[in-house]
Amino acid sequence: MDAPSLHDIEQAMTLLWTRREKREQFLAGDSEIDSSLIHPSLLKHIDHRGVKLYASLIELGRLDLMSSIYPLCKKVLGKHFSALVHEYMETMPPDHFNLNQAARKFPQFLANHAEAHLKRHPFLAELADYEWIELAVMEADVLLDPSSDVCDQSVLQSNSSEELDLKAFAASVPRLNPTVVMRAYKYPISEIAHLLEEGEKLPRRQKAQASWILAYRAVDHNCHYLDVSELTVEIVEAMASKSDSSYGELIALACRQSSNIEETVADFLSMVEEFKSLGVIL
């Protein structure tokens, strides 16, 4: 029999450290372990205590990682959180050199593999997505330049509506913060998150209620969430998909869905001012 290669050794140790079923087979002395997974000549040389030690350290590290990224899901799941994390890591093993990215697919896992928990907490996958967004926004590989176009600023900083040069404003183009992330949820996720953060009890049966959120990284290097309307999401998505969309085009988009044009334009201008003050528009 050929001597095991370095690849054989790496594959065997990875399997025993990260797959509970195979590790338990090995520790129980099961000689039927698939030889395509562990080179037969390796079995008698692998230290059982070492396997247990490294496996436990890896599991602790994974639990720490997932607890830090999904603290609210951990609160909801309670004693079931650890088992779900271990199942998740085996079902969707890490595929990126950045350790944090190992947690990226947890919302997808909950949506597709946690049916029993979703029956009790139907918002769970959306809550996980909400929590993941914070890390995604914080690790977005972009630089923020808070400087703005002079034309855009001067229009919005006029002292009265009569002074607004609406023609110049309509022709100018907003610069959307490149870290902006938008989501549409079936449940009021920001409300649920707030209750959990405050240690309050959740409703026994959480009713579906559509909600929309916008998350972004500001110049203070923190992630901020905003509850917004469906129309606001549509406007911001238009900015994101077509970077040269002018304010005039965006106002026209908003007005197409309104029966009160004057009120819609006023609301749009207020939204732009707010977004510029918050750093959603740069």
Q: pLDDT tens, 96-142?
A: 889 999 999 999 999 999 999 999 999 999 999 999 999 999 998 88
- Phi, psi dihedral angles at 15 (to 5 degrees): -60, -50
Contact 209, 189 (CB under 8 A): no
Digit-coded pLDDT (tens) for 175-219: 999 999 999 999 999 999 999 999 999 998 899 999 999 999 998
Closest CA to 190 of 123, 103, 135, 106: 123
Please check the confidence at residue 252 and state whether its pLDDT lies above 80: yes
Residue 173: both structure tokens together: 């183009």
What's the pLDDT band for 13 if we cut at 50, 70, 90? confident
Contact 130, 190 (CB under 8 A): yes
Contact 144, 177 (CB under 8 A): yes
* CATH architecture of the domain with residue range 145-282: Alpha-Beta Complex (3.90)
Contact 91, 113 (CB under 8 A): yes
pTM of the shown model:
0.84
